[in-house]
């Protein structure tokens, strides 16, 4: 990160980026702890190490823009303005959660914030984001959609079908690939014949951009560029952000597949302390200001955990609320 670049970015943006990256990192660590303590049932796929992609990309979007997220989605949701209280409650399967405690970690949505949903189906977000972009184009709305996905998901047919139509119709959509070098335990070079997945955009007639996924400002710039292109009617972009996840595919993963020295090399480029160091070196924020942000994140998470723990679990008489099906005729429960 270039120290002199600080003057290009408004201070409130730099603060927001640091706050959100800290929130994502600490939310993940807190959720892992609370899962071990029994508050959270089910799987957690944490995004520790990938905070810069989630936060940098979302910061370049407007409130009205929408995202689709993945099984590794906590960072995307917090980046788009998700409230850690309702997220923690959803992870804890409480009826005060974003999806009434029915969805859990993998299925959080909030349409008011433009979060069209995390998704347990790998590649499930491509048609949703592309369909939203088609709606914006048909209505003439100045809005775009961004689909987050992984290096594994880009090999799904749904990517290729969505990318083809998006390219053909010049839809206002960004395909944002978080290439963390693995799909579960399979290294990227054993699941695709090319190292740079951004190359695939060329086959569908739109640009593919490679960005350092551990540099939040580089991610922000790339996403902003793609967004302007989409709003100008020039169509989609594929952004490939090279990054790495520091924890297992899921909590409990024995991680036997990592290559020697790989984790340590990426941890030396940890995006959260790297941005902290950059902010200090660029004199954008001083140590006291950074510590204040960090402690306010901890208080926010204390509240989130307490809120989740104090909330009721869904009751039987709520079972049909929020269910989009005709329960009056034909269907018997």
Ligand X SMILES: Cc1ncc(C[n+]2csc(CCOP(=O)(O)OP(=O)(O)O)c2C)c(N)n1
215 binds, among ligand X, Mg ion, none (CB under 5 to 8 A by kind): none
72 is a contact residue toward ligand X (CB under 6 A): yes
Q: Which of 180, 214, 223, 237 binds Mg ion (CB under 5 A)?
A: 180
150 is a contact residue toward Mg ion (CB under 5 A): yes
Of 32-40, 151-159, 270-278, 301-309: span binding ligand X (CB under 6 A): 151-159
Helices 216-231 and 11-36: angle between axes, nearest 10 degrees:
110
Q: Which of 150, 172, 208, 213 binds ligand X (CB under 6 A)?
A: 150
Q: 215: exposed, middle or buried (C-beta count within 10 Å: 0-12, 13-18, 19+)?
A: buried
Binding-residue pattern over the window 152 to 171 for Mg ion, x denoting contact by CB under 5 A: x-------------------
- Opening angle at CA 286, ends 283 and 287, nearest 5: 140
151 is a contact residue toward Mg ion (CB under 5 A): yes
- Of 110, 146, 141, 113, which is closest to residue 128 (Cα–Cα)? 146
- Of 206, 110, 198, 192, which is closest to residue 155 (Cα–Cα)? 192
Read off the tokens for 289.
Answer: 């200001």
242 is a contact residue toward ligand X (CB under 6 A): no
User: Which is it for strands 186-187 and 182-183: parallel, antiparallel or unpaired?
Assistant: antiparallel
The CA distance from 226 to 173, in Å, is 9
Q: Which of 120, 205, 207, 248 binds ligand X (CB under 6 A)?
A: 120
122 binds, among ligand X, Mg ion, none (CB under 5 to 8 A by kind): ligand X
The CA distance from 246 to 181, in Å, is 11
71 binds, among Mg ion, ligand X, none (CB under 5 to 8 A by kind): ligand X
- Where along the sequence are the contacts to ligand X (CB under 6 A)? 71-72, 120-123, 149-153, 180, 182-184, 249
- Where along the sequence are the contacts to Mg ion (CB under 5 A)? 150-152, 180, 183
């Amino acid at each position: 990160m270039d120290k002199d670049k600080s003057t290009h970015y408004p201070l409130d943006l730099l603060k927001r980026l640091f706050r959100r990256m800290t929130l994502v990192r600490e939310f993940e660590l807190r959720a892992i702890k609370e899962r071990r303590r029994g508050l959270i049932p089910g799987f957690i796929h944490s995004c520790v190490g990938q905070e810069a992609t989630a936060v940098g990309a979302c910061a370049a979007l407007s409130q009205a823009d929408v995202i689709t997220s993945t099984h590794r989605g906590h960072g995307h949701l917090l980046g788009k303005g998700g409230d850690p209280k309702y997220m923690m409650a959803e992870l804890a399967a409480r009826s005060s959660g974003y999806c009434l405690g029915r969805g859990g970690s993998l299925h959080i949505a909030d349409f008011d914030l433009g979060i069209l949903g995390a998704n347990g189906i790998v590649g499930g977000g491509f048609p949703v984001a592309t369909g939203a972009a088609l709606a914006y184009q048909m209505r003439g709305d100045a809005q775009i959609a961004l689909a987050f996905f992984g290096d594994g998901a880009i090999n799904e047919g749904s990517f290729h079908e969505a990318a083809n139509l998006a390219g053909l119709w010049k839809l206002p959509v960004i395909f944002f690939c978080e290439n963390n070098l693995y799909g579960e335990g399979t290294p990227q070079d054993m699941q695709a014949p090319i190292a740079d997945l951004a190359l695939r955009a060329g086959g569908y007639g739109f640009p593919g951009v490679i960005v350092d996924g551990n540099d939040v400002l580089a991610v922000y710039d790339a996403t902003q560029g793609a967004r302007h292109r989409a709003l100008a009617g020039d169509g989609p972009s594929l952004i490939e952000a090279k990054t790495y996840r520091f924890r297992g595919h899921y909590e409990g993963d024995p991680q036997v597949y990592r290559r020697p020295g790989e984790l340590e090399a990426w941890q030396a480029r940890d995006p959260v302390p790297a941005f902290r160091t950059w902010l200090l070196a660029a004199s954008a924020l001083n140590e006291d200001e950074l510590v204040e942000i960090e402690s306010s994140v901890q208080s926010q998470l204390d509240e989130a955990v307490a809120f989740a723990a104090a909330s009721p679990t869904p009751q039987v008489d709520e079972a049909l609320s929020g269910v989009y099906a005709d329960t009056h005729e034909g269907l018997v429960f």
